């Protein structure tokens, strides 16, 4: 293994924090290796439109992974949920370190939980999945699109532009802002995005030595969970324009997968829970996907296309 390794990542505070988490583990395992971080701007960093208006995949990872493919970086560190299920065949998710909390949380500066917010309060989210779940529980709130990095969204609450925002707990914790969390939502009641809380390390598929090195900080339970979730979204074709909540939880040799899909108006909710073998996570993901499809999940897609158009008119 060479003595200096180049690591590609986005330049956001969260991306850098996630990269440092991965590198801290790698440095402990390989104290003689020097890691050099190179930051790369992505379309998702530059384009400030709400995420669900961008009808394309990989807006936060494509440019970084291209640098890996070209040899400009040896590996890349990503939020797993940013990686499309159809990753380039030249690349592989070589390592999933130990996953952080997958939960969503509520942030506001008045200490109010979701049920305590005043009717008409403006709640910001970049996620259709979060938006429809918020509307289900509090139809009297005004759920609006929000963009910007994690700290920018929090500042928009403090400034009074938004009454509250919903964010991923893992992101806030990783950048040292967990003190702004007012409420932590249950994964059963407020189902997270597939892969939320997990970090993925991507490298070239033909770099066997690097794959072995990265594998030394792999967490097998986290890998099993995200494999189940990603097998599900690959079959159901979830994405920013078709919100799907899914989270897997391992317990010994068993793994439980929870999945949830809403109609665009929130009136219909398909929920599935199924237990499988932790050694066969992708088989479980396929089964749950089939159950969702059989119950009409794909028929909801047209309603979501209309909903996206309506949200676009708000911008």
Q: What is the CATH number of the domain that holds 127?
A: 3.40.190.10
Closest CA to 103 of 196, 174, 226: 196
The count of C-alpha atoms lying within 13 angstroms of the C-alpha of 254, restricted to the half-sphere facing its C-beta, is: 4
pLDDT at 54 exceeding the cut of 80: no
pLDDT digits (tens, 9 = 90+) for 57-104: 556 688 999 999 999 999 999 999 888 877 889 999 999 999 999 999
CB atoms within 10 A of CB 83: 24
pLDDT at site 39: 92
Same domain, 166 and 121: yes
Is the same domain home to 234 and 204? no
- Answer yes or no: is 191 within a domain: no
Residue 126 confidence class, pLDDT cut points 50, 70, 90: confident
Q: 88 and 207 share a domain? A: yes
Could you tell me if 90 and 141 lie in one domain? no
* In a domain? residue 193: no
Which residue bears the tokens 């309603």? Answer: 303
* C-alpha distances out from residue 191 to 103, 226, 310, Å: 8, 14, 24
Same structural domain, 214 and 264 = no
**Which CATH number characterizes residue 265's domain?**
3.30.160.40
> Which residue's structure tokens are 């030249």?
90
- Which long-range contacts link 249-253 to residues 24+ away (Cβ below 8 Å)? 249/187, 249/225, 250/221, 250/224, 250/225, 250/278, 252/278, 253/277, 253/278, 253/279
Q: Is residue 291 part of a domain?
A: yes
Q: What average pLDDT does the segment 115-131 reach?
A: 93
Percentage with pLDDT > 90 across the chain? 69
192 falls within a domain: no
What does the pLDDT read at residue 170? 97
Provide the pLDDT for residue 61: 80
Q: Report the chain's mean pLDDT, rounded to a whole number.
A: 89
Per the residue annotation, which of 74, 82, 104, 207 is the catalytic one?
82
The residue from 130, 163, 185 where one domain ends is 185
Q: Would 173 be classed as within a structural domain?
A: yes
In a domain? residue 40: yes
The pLDDT of residue 261 is above 70: yes
Which of the two residues, 187 and 308, has the higher pLDDT score?
187
* 295-311: average pLDDT: 76
SS3 track for the chain: CCCEEEEEECCCHHHHHHHHHHHHHHHHHCCCCEEEEEECCCHHHHCCCCHHHCCCCCCCCHHHHHHHHCCCCCEEEEEHHHCCCCCCCCEEEEECCCCCCCCEEEECCCCCCHHHCCCCCEEEECCHHHHHHHHHHCCCCEEEECCCCHHHHHHHHHCCCCCEEEEEHHHHHHCCCHHHEEEECCCCCCCCCCCCCCEEEEEECCCHHHHHHHHHHCCHHHHHHHHHHHHHHHHHCCECCECEEEEEEEECCEEEEEEEEECCCCCCEEEEEEEEECCCHHHHHHHHHHHHHHCCCHHHHHHHHHHHHHHHHHC
Per the domain annotation, does 238 fall within a domain? Answer: yes
Q: 2: pLDDT confidence band, cut at 50, 70 and 90?
A: low
Residues 43 and 112 in one domain: no
How many domains does the structure of the chain reveal? Answer: 3
Q: What is the pLDDT of residue 51?
A: 53
- Whether 82 sits among the annotated catalytic residues: the reply is yes
Tokens of 47: 């384009």
On the question of pLDDT at 119 being above 60, the answer is yes
Structure tokens given for 259: 């999945």
Question: Are 210 and 228 part of one and the same domain?
Answer: no
Residues 232 and 313 in one domain: yes
The whole domain housing 301 covers 220-315
**158 and 238 assigned to the same domain:** no
In a domain, 190, yes or no: no
What's residue 60's pLDDT? 63
Q: Do 249 and 128 have their domain in common?
A: no
Query: pTM for this structure?
Result: 0.88
Asked whether residue 121 falls in the same domain as residue 41, the answer is no
Same domain assignment for residues 213 and 81: yes
Q: Cα torsion at 40, 45, 47, 49 (round to 10°)?
A: 160
């Amino acid at each position: 293994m060479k003595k200096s390794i180049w690591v590609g990542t986005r330049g956001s505070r969260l991306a850098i924090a996630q990269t440092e988490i991965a590198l801290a583990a790698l440095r402990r395992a390989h104290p003689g290796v020097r890691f050099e971080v190179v930051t790369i701007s992505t379309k998702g960093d530059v384009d400030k439109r709400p995420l669900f208006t961008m009808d394309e995949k990989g807006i936060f990872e494509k440019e970084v992974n291209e640098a890996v493919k070209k040899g400009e970086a040896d590996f890349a560190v990503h939020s797993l949920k940013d990686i499309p299920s159809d990753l380039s065949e030249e690349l592989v998710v070589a390592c999933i370190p130990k996953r952080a909390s997958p939960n969503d949380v509520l942030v506001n500066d008045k200490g109010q939980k979701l049920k305590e917010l005043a009717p008409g309060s403006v709640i910001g989210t970049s996620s259709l999945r979060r938006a429809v779940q918020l509307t289900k529980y509090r139809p009297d709130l005004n759920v609006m699109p929000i963009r910007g990095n994690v700290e920018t969204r929090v500042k928009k609450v403090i400034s009074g532009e938004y009454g509250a925002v919903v964010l991923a707990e893992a992101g806030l914790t990783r950048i040292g802002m967990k003190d702004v969390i007012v409420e932590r939502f249950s994964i059963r009641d407020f189902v997270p995005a597939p892969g939320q809380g997990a970090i993925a390390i991507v490298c070239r598929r033909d770099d066997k030595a690097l794959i072995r090195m990265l594998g030394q900080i792999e967490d097998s339970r986290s890998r099993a969970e995200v494999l189940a979730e990603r097998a599900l979204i690959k079959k159901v074709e979830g994405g920013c324009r078709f919100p799907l909540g899914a989270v897997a939880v391992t317990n010994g040799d068993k793994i439980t997968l929870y999945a949830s899909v809403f109609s665009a108006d929130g009136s219909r909710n398909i929920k599935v829970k199924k237990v499988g073998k932790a050694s066969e996570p992708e088989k479980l993901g396929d089964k749950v996907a089939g159950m969702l499809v059989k119950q009409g999940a794909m028929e909801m897609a047209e309603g979501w296309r209309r909903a996206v158009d309506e949200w676009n008119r708000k911008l």
